[in-house]
Amino acid sequence: MDAPGGFIKINDKAASSRISTARPPTLDHTTDQEKKQTAQFIENVLNRLWNSLDRVNQQIFDSSRPIDTYRPQTLAGDSETLLIIQPSYSQDRIENIIITGPVTASPATVGPLFTLQLGGRVWNLALPVTGILTIPCATIPGSGIELNQDDVRTLTSAVAGDWAVELIGHADIRYNRP
């Protein structure tokens, strides 16, 4: 039964069954036109997000196929002036280059001159007197020199000697997707 002042007694079982805990229904004041515009907006945002994620997917760096292509030096001093390096994969990303060659006598300040060609890039270089030259090609992960299978990889020297070239990097198969 009701208590004085219009309150319901909690221990009254009949009164507690009349208490409703449901919220009143909310009123939706959006029109059909607004609902269509909202759906179109969400669709446009999702399409933009999908396109952005596709661009990110194309830029992901794959390091699962390492490359260490080289033409080693021999124990007996060869007298070669041209080295041809064969590719490892159909598309390579070269990140570092190590070149070794004949050591120059100490009064000289510069070692022998040579030309390194990797694809369309041609460099005229001089070997340091120590006989080893390292060229870092990748300053950030995923960068480097992109070479296809049919790109030229040669070292041509003006001085015959025991030359070696090592190309270090990863195979790039991002563009071989079906």
| 118-168: pLDDT as tens digits | 988 999 999 888 888 999 887 776 678 888 888 888 999 888 888 888 888
Contact 138, 169 (CB under 8 A): yes
pTM value surpassing 0.75: no
Greater confidence (20 vs 170) lies with 170
Alpha-carbon distance 132 to 103, whole Å? 8
Burial of 96 (0-12, 13-18, 19+ CB in 10 A): middle
- pLDDT(98) > 50: yes
Terminal alpha carbon distance of the chain: 77
Q: Dump pLDDT digits (tens) for 36-85.
A: 788 888 899 998 988 887 777 666 666 667 777 666 555 555 677 888 88
> Which pLDDT does position 176 carry in this prediction?
47
